[in-house]
Structure 1
Amino acid sequence: METMTAVLILLVTVAVSGIIGRFVTRVPQPLIQVALGAALGWASGVPIILNPDLFLLVFIPPLLFLDAWRFPATELRRLGGIIVTLAVGLVVFTVVGAGHVIHWLLPAVPLSTAFALAAVLSPTDAVAVSGMTGGGGMPRRLKHILEGEALLNDASGLVCLQFAVTAALTGTFSIGGAAVAFLWAAGGGLLVGVIVVAAVHLAQSWIIRLRGDSPAATILTMLLVPFAAYLAAEHLDMSGILAAVAAGMTLNLLPLEESGQVATRLQGTAVGDMIQFTLNGVIFVLLGWQLPGILVQAPMIAMQAGAPHTGPMDMPVSLGWLGLHVAAIVGALLALRLVWVWLSLLVSRAIAQRRGRPGAGGPAGTTFRLVSVTTVSGVRGAVTLAGVLSLPVWLREGVAFPGRDVAIFLASGVILVSLPMASLMLPWLLRGLSMPGEDLTVEEERVAEAALARAALRRLEQAHQAVSPAASEADLYTEAALRLMEFYRRQVEDPDMPVDARVLSRRRLAIEAELRLAAVRAKRDELARLHRTHAISDETWRRMMHSLDMMEASLGRSRIL
């Protein structure tokens, strides 16, 4: 009962943070969730004891799976080189560099624990960055790069964490052995993720062809996939983290365009959004809940970290000493990221010049701001917290894991510093920033809309010609076909059309969408009145309201194009 009560409190707190976030738009939502969690932890005075293995299983696989499932595969192929450079190369650079810096700053912390802390600090949180910018202001290409980096560096950082923890538990580390173990864990984990999704997809496709689609069962099955992939890979001593990522990316590449799965796609998107918001929110609320206890233990944590014994270590002195080290670690992470991004940009510019594209890097001022934005956007978030909380409590029987409390304090401090720092700096740095090849999405969607309209016209013409003139209701079929064909012809732009006429045509379609939207809203108001007066049943109301919601969503998007 106590566990269920704690879960309900966490869920209610996440829901409340969502409501507050709509009104306090300048504060990143993770900080709101941390503050609410801290208030609950202080008011209750009851700590939440977390099982590291259970915490890792519950939060990491679904979060990585959903990120991989949602990431645009086309952008991953187009920007794969840049993303891999940041997600793998920068992670290794950060683990090695930051690990040695942490050990140099805090010699009392073992090198293996320092590497483990550096590993959990290497993943970035693109969701938090997007929340700070409101989804706008950031160039789309840069947004995709940061999202792709966050997706892959979650996996690479957590794999490095597993190696660091293994070194701490065994007391030995071999580069050759680590390389072989990494190849087995990484390759096997990726293969397991692909196999699990392929098997589930084949089974579901067969069931859908035989008995039709059931959105609730299909979505639930897909949500269980990351746990199945993770547990299967871990059982084989492979990387469950990479298995979850591979499962999401494989599902992303599989077709889900069958007309019978419309409801599954619509409901799946909403369910995915809800789960991702909930899991991220619970992690940050848990961080806040732990803060009062961590602050009370600050003197003990400072002593574990090797604070000088020149006088009594009360809480303010301990917090100040630890805070300076948090600031030093944040500075080291920013410096490492700045160096790597700058060098990567220089290399990519040199490659572009050799390929005959000397202007690919953009103007010097833009380059500096681009490097600055990319550096500051490396905020730490949910995966960092989940990773550090997953550190084992015990090294072996009766021996605590060295420096675990220190690592949790420092990781929490880095999160709490990087989030507000980015929220203050990013809006200023992003003002007027653009990247080469930007602002093509709207035109790309217009071209796609025209192609879809031409396909619809061809199908309508075929259906019209297939109707025999002697058939019953032939005139009705002809009238309906001509009316629909006229609707789709208005969506196809003539390539030779003058620019003014093309703008006028687009504006006419937008006005038509606005009028249709007003009509749909009037229909919804009338439907609500009929339901209130009990003129229609609840079943009829739900069915018709769902239809109107779909129409409004489609028309709302048409106004943007």
Structure 2
Amino acid sequence: MEGLFEVVVFLATATLGAALARKLGLLAPIVLVVAGLVLSFVPGFPHVRLDPDLVLVGILPPLLYVAALETSVPAFRHNLRPILWLAVGLVLFTAVAIGLVLHLLLPMVPFAVCLALGAVLAPPDAVAATAVARRIGLPRRVVTILEGESLLNDATALVLFRVAALAAVGSAVGVAEVSIEVLRSAGGGVLVGVLGALLFGFVHKRITDPLLDNALSLIIPFAVVFVAEEIHASGVMAVVVTGLALGHKLPVLMSAASRLQVGAVWRLVRFLLEGLVFLLVGLQLPDVLQDLDEPLGRVVGVTAAVLGTLFLARFVWLFPVTYLTRLVPSVRRGTARKPVKYPLVIGWAGMRGVVTLAAALALPLTVAGGREYPRELFIWLAFAVIVATLVGQGATLPMVARRLKLPPDDPVQDALSAAGVQQQASRAARERLDELAGTAPAPVVDRLRRGVEERTNLAWERLGGTQRETPSQAYGRLRQEMIDAERAVFRNARDTGRIPEEVLVQAYRDLDLEESLLRREGNR
């Protein structure tokens, strides 16, 4: 009972924190981390010690899965080269850089342990990067690159962490062992992900009940990660591959009702889990400080050195990769030279999150020979990096993006493309309607033709800007008033006993669906 009470308190606090962030126009991850830091010292507030398995197996998979579902596979494939440079190359470069700096500052600590912490600190957080990037309206290509990086970098980091941790505890790790570990983790994760996509895609295709589709969708990330971990493959990679494949095929795997419900359920799940993880990060401060038993000077010096290395490594890697690789003809062909502002904003978007702390808590207790090392200092470094990057870089990223004046995506071009495709779709719909016109009464066919014309006109109206009210906007405004009047009549009939509750619920459901469509069209 006490555990359930704490979960409710955490979720309620995370919800209130997110609401406060929206009210103040701030980024929710930053507000929730700061709220957790403050609440961790409030007497009587529930205390929780983060469990690495809970994060890596219970929280991370669903967040990665929903992010992969919403990722455009064509855009991901088009930007695969920069994504891999960041998700693989940058993670390895950052991990080695931090490992070397730590080993120079703490020569008594084996390099393998320092490298393991480097792997922990290297990957930016999947939740923070995409939440911040979308919130401040970065260009679509930048968001795609950051999303792709955040989907794959955890797999790279965790594989490197596993190899370094094995070496730290005295296991023989040579080229052959590393190769086998990488093949088993990455290759096995991809294989499990592909099999998961095939299996669950087959099941989704044959389910007609939206509730069952929802239940299956919630089970998929956990089922995939459990299978992957059972064979010591990368659960992160497996979840991402499954999510990308199913998300790309979702329009033909689920009915319209299922897609609407699944989208709504995952939005709620993501909102609650994202709020929970950032709040939990802040709440860890008392435990981190309590276990820390190092001289203050050493703590400050090592923390500053690690933060500086982490910050510089991202830029030191980004600029050569962005510009020097264009000297290679196969890379240069078909790519345009990007202004310096693009690598600058991508470099600034290096916020770390809960995965960093969870992996740090999984560091070995002792190293080879049973020797101890300052493990508590390493956990503090992970915590400090999360808070510093989230609060520092996350809070200033909107300002940096504004100062750099990144050109936004052209809404006119988007609307023009949409209108062109809508016209083709309307033509296909009319042709199909002409084929079936003899199977329905003429008034029904005429009504359907008018509906197709209205959708085509609405698409072209969006090109006219927002200086005046379009006919479709006028229609939406008036129809909204009519829906409100209809609701009042049904509600009064239920209150006076003329209709049962079930009739009211059905009528409200129909009116709610129509209103949601009106709001969707009005927000385009």
Does structure 1 residue 295 correspond to structure 2 residue 289? Answer: yes
Distance 1:189 1:44 in 2: 43
Structure 2 counterpart of 1:34, one-letter code: V
Structure 2 counterpart of 1:22, one-letter code: R
Instruction: Give deviations 1:444-499, integer Å, cap 9, x for gaps.
Output: 323332222222222222222x35xxxxx844245434433543553576xxxxxx
The 5 Å alignment of 1:521-540 reads 521-530=480-489, 532-533=491-492, 534-535=494-495, 536-540=499-503
When the two chains are superposed, the root-mean-square deviation of aligned CA atoms in Å is 3.2
Instruction: Give deviations 1:361-387, integer Å, cap 9, x for gaps.
Output: 14xxxx232222111111112332333
Instruction: Give deviations 1:197-248, integer Å, cap 9, x for gaps.
Output: 3222223433x3xxxx222221221221222111212222322222222221
Deviates more, 1:95-104 or 1:54-63: 54-63
Alpha carbons of structure 1 residues 327 and 396: separation in structure 2 relative to 1, 3 Å:
closer
**Cα pair 2:138 2:408 within 8 Å, conserved:** no
The 5 Å alignment of 1:156-167 reads 156-167=156-167
Partner in structure 1 of residue 212 of structure 2: 217
1:378 aligns to what SS in structure 2? Answer: coil
Partner in structure 2 of residue 283 of structure 1: 277
**Cα pair 1:64 1:154 within 8 Å, conserved:** no
The 5 Å alignment of 1:42-121 reads 42=41, 43-44=43-44, 47-121=47-121
2:40 aligns to what SS in structure 1? Answer: helix
The 5 Å alignment of 1:171-320 reads 171-206=171-206, 208=207, 213-257=208-252, 261-298=255-292, 300=293, 302=294, 307=295, 318=296
Structure 1 counterpart of 2:432, one-letter code: R
1:254 aligns to what SS in structure 2? Answer: helix
How far apart are 1:357 and its partner, in Å?
6.4
**Cα pair 2:426 2:453 within 8 Å, conserved:** no
Partner in structure 2 of residue 490 of structure 1: 457
Deviates more, 1:476-485 or 1:387-396: 387-396
How far apart are 1:8 and its partner, in Å?
2.0
Alpha carbons of structure 1 residues 272 and 386: separation in structure 2 relative to 1, 3 Å:
farther
The 5 Å alignment of 1:328-339 reads 328-339=305-316
Does structure 1 residue 551 correspond to structure 2 residue 514? Answer: yes
Alpha carbons of structure 1 residues 276 and 323: separation in structure 2 relative to 1, 3 Å:
farther
1:288 aligns to what SS in structure 2? Answer: helix
Partner in structure 2 of residue 314 of structure 1: none
Deviates more, 1:84-93 or 1:35-44: 35-44
**Cα pair 2:64 2:126 within 8 Å, conserved:** no
Distance 1:294 1:527 in 2: 58
Structure 2 counterpart of 1:463, one-letter code: L
Instruction: Give deviations 1:43-68, integer Å, cap 9, x for gaps.
Output: 23764244433442212222222222
Partner in structure 1 of residue 146 of structure 2: 146
How far apart are 1:76 and its partner, in Å?
0.6
Deviates more, 1:73-82 or 1:320-329: 320-329
Distance 1:348 1:233 in 2: 35
How far apart are 1:395 and its partner, in Å?
6.8
Instruction: Give deviations 1:299-323, integer Å, cap 9, x for gaps.
Output: x1x2xxxx4xxxxxxxxxx2x6524
2:405 aligns to what SS in structure 1? Answer: coil
Alpha carbons of structure 1 residues 274 and 321: separation in structure 2 relative to 1, 3 Å:
farther
How far apart are 1:528 and its partner, in Å?
4.3
Distance 1:219 1:502 in 2: 34
**Cα pair 1:65 1:226 within 8 Å, conserved:** yes
TM-score relative to the length of structure 2: 0.88
TM-score relative to the length of structure 1: 0.82
Distance 2:313 2:211 in 1: 46
Deviates more, 1:45-54 or 1:120-129: 45-54
**Cα pair 1:140 1:438 within 8 Å, conserved:** no
Distance 2:261 2:393 in 1: 33
Distance 2:366 2:53 in 1: 12
**Cα pair 2:6 2:46 within 8 Å, conserved:** no
Partner in structure 1 of residue 347 of structure 2: 375
Alpha carbons of structure 1 residues 508 and 232: separation in structure 2 relative to 1, 3 Å:
same
1:516 aligns to what SS in structure 2? Answer: helix
Alpha carbons of structure 1 residues 332 and 406: separation in structure 2 relative to 1, 3 Å:
same
Distance 1:123 1:354 in 2: 25
Distance 1:237 1:54 in 2: 17
Deviates more, 1:371-380 or 1:451-460: 451-460
**Cα pair 1:13 1:37 within 8 Å, conserved:** no
**Cα pair 1:191 1:243 within 8 Å, conserved:** yes
**Cα pair 2:155 2:237 within 8 Å, conserved:** yes
Alpha carbons of structure 1 residues 180 and 551: separation in structure 2 relative to 1, 3 Å:
same
**Cα pair 1:323 1:413 within 8 Å, conserved:** no
Alpha carbons of structure 1 residues 149 and 133: separation in structure 2 relative to 1, 3 Å:
closer
Instruction: Give deviations 1:508-550, integer Å, cap 9, x for gaps.
Output: 9962332232234324433443454325544344434343443
Distance 1:349 1:437 in 2: 24
| Unpaired runs of at least 5, structure 1 | 308-317, 468-472, 494-500
2:251 aligns to what SS in structure 1? Answer: coil
Partner in structure 2 of residue 418 of structure 1: 389
Does structure 1 residue 389 correspond to structure 2 residue 361? Answer: yes
1:361 to 314, 337, 356: 337
Alpha carbons of structure 1 residues 88 and 263: separation in structure 2 relative to 1, 3 Å:
same
**Cα pair 2:152 2:237 within 8 Å, conserved:** no
How far apart are 1:402 and its partner, in Å?
4.1
Distance 1:278 1:436 in 2: 30
Aligned length, in residue pairs: 517
Does structure 1 residue 457 correspond to structure 2 residue 430? Answer: yes
Distance 2:500 2:366 in 1: 60
Alpha carbons of structure 1 residues 550 and 474: separation in structure 2 relative to 1, 3 Å:
closer
Taking only the aligned residue pairs, the percentage that are identical comes to: 30
| Unpaired runs of at least 5, structure 2 | none
Alpha carbons of structure 1 residues 343 and 524: separation in structure 2 relative to 1, 3 Å:
same
Alpha carbons of structure 1 residues 523 and 235: separation in structure 2 relative to 1, 3 Å:
same
